[in-house]
Amino acid sequence: MDYQQIIYDIDEGILTITLNRPDKLNAFTGQMMTEMINALDRADADDTVKAIIVTGAGRGFCAGADLSSGASTFDADAGAPKAAQEEKKSIADGGGLLTLRIFDCLKPIISACNGPAVGVGATMQCAMDIRLASTSAKYGFVFSKRGIVPEACSSWFLPRLVGISQALEWTYTGRVFSAEEALEKGLIRSVHEPEDLLPAARKLALEFADQTSSLSIALIRNMMWKMLGADHPVVAHNIDSRGVNAMGKSTDAKEGVASFLEKRPAIFPGKVSAEMPEFFPWWEHREFE
């Protein structure tokens, strides 16, 4: 795909996806959603990619949905002929399609929020693993002020990150708040001066990539996220047991033990693109209804 609204850059095994509409504060469009999903598909298929950073070009991370269509921006039927309305296959939220793809990603994802992030600019980050912010970052779950509701599956993600009361306070008021408040309430990991943000994100991403098994990381990521919805710890026990059994037989496990005993850096041969365990994925893929 020829990207027009994102930048896809790999360096030292770290993929940086940059939202690239700086003149519009990287406002989210259907094209941007499609390009981001394609980028995640590419990253999962590319064994040289060990971790992903998402950031924004210019002074903003993402100003939310592009409102250039005016008052009808969120009306899926606006301007559509009746026949097209009747034939419409789906009203699925684009932000949700993106966060569902992030949810199933095989690579660790870090958000490096470099500026204002409101609406989907804030909610897409909730599906990412670790969130870092610049001192100039601001967040806003502004949906009540636009007469709509939270999207991008954030009614699932946000309360799990900060608790139900804080999630409701932010979404009820729709107010924009600082990176410092986001840090205090547990939405983000750390706050950095603007020039230090991407170096800090890269340092963390390289820690994820350094002498770790890509197969282990892919399994760990999905085990942790999927278990948030489990109704009993035995669900985790079932997957843990299958994971330990499958990985225990792998060349990665043999290399991990041998490198430890021989006191040398590990070189893991496993390829996420072709060698995920037979039981993976263990969950039923669910579609928009």
Q: How far apart are CA 66 and CA 68, in angstroms?
A: 6
What's the confidence (pLDDT) of residue 181?
Answer: 98
Cβ contact 176:139 at 8 Å = yes
How many degrees, rounded to 5, is the angle at CA 8 between CA 25 and CA 197? 60
**DSSP strand pairing (14-19 vs 51-56):** parallel
Burial of 134 (0-12, 13-18, 19+ CB in 10 A): buried
Q: How far apart are CA 26 and CA 96, in angstroms?
A: 18
- 72 pLDDT higher than 80: no
Calculated CA dihedral for residues 113, 118, 124, 129, nearest 10 degrees:
40
Burial of 10 (0-12, 13-18, 19+ CB in 10 A): middle
State the DSSP string of 100-112.
HHHHT-SS-EEEE
Residues 202-224: pLDDT tens digits?
999 999 999 999 999 999 999 99
| Coil, helix or strand at residue 79 | coil
Pull the structure tokens for residue 7.
């930048």
- 85 pLDDT higher than 50: no
What's the confidence (pLDDT) of residue 288?
Answer: 87
- Side-by-side strand order, sheet with 109-113: 6-11, 14-19, 51-56, 109-113, 130-134, 190-192
Residues 118-169: pLDDT tens digits?
999 999 999 999 999 999 999 999 999 999 999 999 999 999 999 999 999 9
What residue ranges define each of the domains in the chain, with the CATH number in brackets? Answer: 6-209 (3.90.226.10), 212-289 (1.10.12.10)
Q: Is the pTM of this model over 0.85?
A: yes
Percent of residues, the chain, with pLDDT higher than 90? 88
